[in-house]
A and B are shown apart, each in its own frame.
Chain A
């Protein structure tokens, strides 16, 4: 890891186009200003990690047997849920033969 010391007002430049400047140091907090082209997305690390972990959990907890997903519950949550709307062309419909529901 590259470690650099900076004072308030000083900055580092990454790849000639991203500037990270120390704007303020107060208490235990440092305020950073990031200047970057529009295509560069900047996120707080914890948001990134939080979503990554939730994704892993979602993948892990997705029932191995799709039939185990309680549709009765879903019916209670979302009344009158329609067909896929914008998505309809993209979604594989479940044929009658492989669904045990009526």
Chain B
């Protein structure tokens, strides 16, 4: 048992190093939901600042939920247990285009006029029936060219933290 644990840990440690200097080849990463997944360096998304509450996870990959599905999984490479269900903001609101602070744009390496992709983190609430809400207040802004991302904090007067999707 201890040996297995060791094995997992080693793999996770490898994953942490992927893409640090964009030198790493592809590797396998163990995840709780998807088992062992192949990660190509060009798929790794680096959080330039952490998703709030999860400072240890700086690298993620996006996985499509299923063929034709709008759901994506934002899977951490450092924490096998951590994966968010996300959706492209345009799927929820075609006009969603929140203003980014200049500091955020710089951190994301966005060039003048470059529009980031916004991913909305979904919360699934299982009461009597499944309820899904989208977090429009703290979207993950993504520079698709450089694969840099961060969760940005917007103005609560204009954006909802839990918009019901129905």
Interface residues of A (CB under 8 A from B): 38-41, 43-44, 47-48, 50-59, 61-66, 69-71, 73-74, 77-78, 81, 84-87, 89-94, 96, 99, 101
Contact call A94/B53, Cβ cutoff below 8 A: no
In B16-71, which residues have CB < 8 Å from any A CB?
A: 32-34, 37-38, 42-43, 45, 51-54, 61-71
Number of A-B contacts (CB under 8 A): 151
Is there a chain A Cβ closer than 8 Å to B13's Cβ?
no
Query: Closest residue to B103 on the A side, CB-wise?
Result: A39
How many chain B residues touch A (CB < 8 A): the figure is 61
5 closest A-B pairs by CB: A51-B138, A81-B70, A52-B52, A58-B123, A52-B53
Is there a chain A Cβ closer than 8 Å to B77's Cβ?
no
Considering the chains assembled together, what is the distance between the CA atoms of A16 and B142 in angstroms? 32
Is there a chain A Cβ closer than 8 Å to B15's Cβ?
no
Considering the chains assembled together, what is the distance between the CA atoms of A57 and B132 in angstroms? 12
The B contact surface, by secondary structure, is mixed
Identify 27 residue pairs between A and B in the complex whose beta-carbon atoms are under 8 Å apart, listed by A's number.
A40-B103, A41-B103, A51-B151, A54-B123, A54-B135, A54-B137, A54-B138, A54-B161, A54-B162, A59-B84, A62-B83, A63-B85, A64-B33, A66-B65, A66-B73, A69-B124, A71-B66, A71-B71, A73-B132, A74-B69, A85-B90, A86-B117, A87-B88, A87-B144, A94-B63, A94-B66, A101-B66
Kindly list chain A residues whose C-beta atoms are within 8 Å of the C-beta of B83: 59, 62
Contact call B130/A73, Cβ cutoff below 8 A: yes
Contact call A55/B88, Cβ cutoff below 8 A: no
- Whether A74 touches B71, Cβ cut-off 8 Å, given contacts A58-B135, A92-B63, is yes
Considering the chains assembled together, what is the distance between the CA atoms of A14 and B87 in angstroms? 39
Contact call A71/B65, Cβ cutoff below 8 A: yes
Contact call B153/A62, Cβ cutoff below 8 A: no
Contact call A62/B91, Cβ cutoff below 8 A: no
Considering the chains assembled together, what is the distance between the CA atoms of A31 and B140 in angstroms? 30
Q: How far is the CB of B37 from chain A (nearest CB, A)?
A: 7
Is there a chain A Cβ closer than 8 Å to B72's Cβ?
yes
Considering the chains assembled together, what is the distance between the CA atoms of A26 and B53 in angstroms? 35
Extra contacts, 18 of them, besides A40-B103, A81-B70 (Cβ < 8 A), are: A38-B102, A50-B156, A50-B161, A54-B123, A54-B137, A55-B54, A57-B123, A59-B84, A62-B83, A63-B124, A64-B33, A69-B124, A78-B92, A81-B91, A87-B62, A90-B45, A94-B65, A99-B66
